[in-house]
Structure formats: C-alpha cells, structure tokens
C-alpha cells in the first residue's frame, strides 16, 4: 500500500478536533445521543459492608471462661483444633448459599414492598425452574467481593437499580452469609453435641434413681455400719452413685467446653462497616456521559474526515 494512502490515526484525530465547524455541527447530535443513553440505561446503586476475619483465640477464651466459673481449665492441647480456614470467598460461590440468598424475601423500595430476591433481579424467571441456569450470573452481577491481601479485610458490594433494594439485599447478603457460615463450621461439633446431650439426659435419670436407692437404703438401715453385710451393700450402692455422678458432671463439662468452642468458631468475622442506603448512583456517572459524547463524536466524524482526506 502507498505510504501516502496509509491511515495515520493520530493525524485523523488532530484533523477531527481542529475542525471547529464540524464539532459545532455534530455537537447537538452527540448531546442527544448522550441524553438518550443516560435516560435509557439502568441506574446502578451500590450498598456495601466490610468484614475482618479475626484470628481464632479459642484456647485462651475457654481457659478464661472455666476459671471464671471456678473450674480448672481442661487440657485441650491434645484435642482437635478448631482453627478452620476462612470461608467467606468460597461461600459466595456456593450453590447452597445462592439458593438460600435468592429465595429470601427482601424490601425492594422506599415503600417497604418486599419480594423474593431472585424474582426481583429476574422478573421473567421462576426460581424453581430457572435457578440452576441463572444463579451464577445473578450472583456475579449482584455481589462483588474484593479482599485486601495484606490485611485480609473483605469489601463486599451489592449492586441493583434501586438504592433501597441495594441496602436491604446487602443486609440479607450479610445475614445469610453469617448463618450459612455458622451452619458449616458448627457441623463439625453437631454430632458430638447431640451425643453429649443424650448421655447427660440418661445419666441425669440414672443419678436420680441411684440417689433415691441410696437414700432409701440408709433410711431403712440406720445402723448399717454395724453390719459387715449391710456396710458392703451400702458401699456398693454408694460407688454406683458416685460413678454415675462423675460421668454426669464430666459429660456436662464436656458439653460446656464444646459450647465455648462453638462460640469461638462462629465469632471469626467482625463487621467493620455495615450497609447503608446510598442515594448517589454509581452508574451512569458524569464521566460516563462525557465518554459517550466523545465516542459518538468520533464515530460520526471519523468516516467523514476519512472521506475528505481521500478526496484530497
């Protein structure tokens, strides 16, 4: 291709911007296109919250708690540690989390009208029929998660076309996240807690029964210590009661320990900034409109300038 006919984009831009008459002629059209874009595009309002995953200091918390209630701190060094990796980012990708969130009702306007979140975000779909096909794209467009690598702080933003909907859905995002995270973390203690509760209930009945038997024996045999046979019988009943009582209080202590571990597990997130209603739209911005004006100006005028350049 002849070098004289080669298109130099920079020279074309200079020629376009230097043509004041051309700029004035197309300016009304550019502004009109920008206005059409501004009023036709969906508004975007953002509400956000900030999370700080705190380090789990469960051992010192448990020791302090047992000291407060007058019990020696149990030896938990040999037990399984409950320092579970932080789950925040992975939970947002979870199908189960998406189902819990999108099937929840939330307020969607300033009149306190409520709607299922899935139906609010996609009014043409049914959550029971279309959830599997659409939940990934809906969550991706709804929630933006960013993490500061140095501090570990999470910045979670929720975007919709209504400031009140963004605020209330953002609160729902936080609530469902906290609940679902607790469900997952507490699943590690659920079976053990169920077992301990069952054993405590059974041992409580057995201890009452053993205590009644021992009391009745003493009442019926006031001078039992004068008879070797009755003294032996008393010792047997007393040992049975002491054994049941020891097991009962051991399981009771284990259950309290487990409850403190659960508190330690679920307290691993600190909400630094809670969601607020932000009436200032994040899109389209003034910068967006200026960009539309410039882009439309170039699209309309570059072909004309190329034509003039070719003719010359």
Sorted by where each starts, the structural domains of the chain and their CATH numbers stand as 42-283 (3.30.1890)
Torsion region of 79: left, alpha or beta (phi above 0 gives left; psi -120 to 50 gives alpha):
beta
Which pLDDT value is given to residue 235? 92
SS3 category, 146: strand
pTM score, two decimals?
A: 0.63
More confident residue, 153 or 265: 153
Distances (CA, A) of 108 to 120, 144, 154, 170, 179: 8, 19, 25, 11, 22
DSSP state, residue 145: E
| For residue 92, pLDDT beyond 50 | yes
Tell me which of 23-37, 73-87, 283-297 is least confident. Answer: 73-87
- Give the model confidence (pLDDT) of 253-271 as tens digits: 999 988 888 877 777 678 8
Pairing of strands 45-53, 269-273: antiparallel
Mean pLDDT of 97-116: 89
The arithmetic mean of pLDDT across residues 143-154, rounded, is: 86
CB atoms under 10 Å from CB of 92, counted, come to 20
Residue 99 confidence (pLDDT) above 60: yes
Query: Is the per-residue pLDDT at 190 higher than 80?
Result: yes
Per-residue pLDDT, averaged over 299-309, amounts to: 67
What is the structure's pLDDT at 274?
A: 87
Place of tokens 């004309």: 304
pLDDT at 4 over 50: no
Answer whether residue 130 shows pLDDT above 90. no
Work out the pLDDT band at 195, boundaries 50, 70, 90.
very high
DSSP state of 93: T
Report the distance separating Cα 22 and Cα 19, nearest Å. 5
pLDDT tens across 6-48, in order?
Answer: 456 666 666 666 666 666 667 777 777 777 766 666 778 889 9
């Amino acid at each position: 291709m002849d070098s004289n006919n080669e298109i130099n984009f920079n020279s074309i831009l200079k020629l376009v911007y230097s043509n004041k008459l051309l700029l004035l002629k197309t300016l009304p059209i550019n502004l009109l296109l920008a206005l059409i874009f501004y009023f036709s595009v969906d508004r975007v309002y953002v509400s956000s919250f900030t999370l700080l995953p705190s380090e789990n200091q469960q051992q010192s918390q448990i020791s302090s708690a047992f000291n407060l209630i007058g019990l020696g701190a149990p030896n938990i060094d040999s037990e399984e540690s409950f320092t579970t990796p932080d789950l925040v980012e992975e939970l947002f990708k979870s199908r189960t989390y998406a189902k819990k969130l999108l099937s929840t009702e939330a307020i969607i306007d300033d009149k306190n009208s409520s709607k299922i979140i899935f139906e609010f975000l996609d009014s043409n779909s049914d959550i029971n029929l279309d959830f599997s096909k659409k939940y990934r794209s809906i969550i991706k467009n709804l929630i933006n998660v960013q993490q500061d690598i140095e501090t570990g702080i999470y910045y979670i933003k929720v975007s919709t076309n209504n400031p009140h909907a963004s605020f209330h859905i953002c609160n729902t995002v936080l609530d469902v996240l906290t609940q679902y995270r607790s469900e997952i973390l507490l699943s590690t203690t659920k079976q053990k807690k169920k077992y301990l509760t069952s054993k405590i209930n059974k041992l409580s009945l057995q201890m009452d029964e053993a205590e009644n038997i021992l009391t009745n024996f003493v009442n019926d045999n006031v001078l039992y210590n004068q008879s070797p046979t009755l003294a032996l019988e008393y010792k047997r009943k007393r040992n049975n009661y002491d054994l049941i009582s020891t097991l009962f209080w051991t399981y009771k202590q284990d259950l309290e320990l487990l409850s403190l571990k659960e508190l330690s597990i679920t307290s691993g997130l600190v909400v630094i900034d809670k969601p607020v209603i932000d009436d200032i739209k994040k899109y389209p911005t003034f910068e967006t409109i200026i960009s539309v004006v410039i882009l439309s100006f170039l699209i309309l005028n570059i072909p004309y300038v190329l034509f003039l350049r070719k003719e010359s």
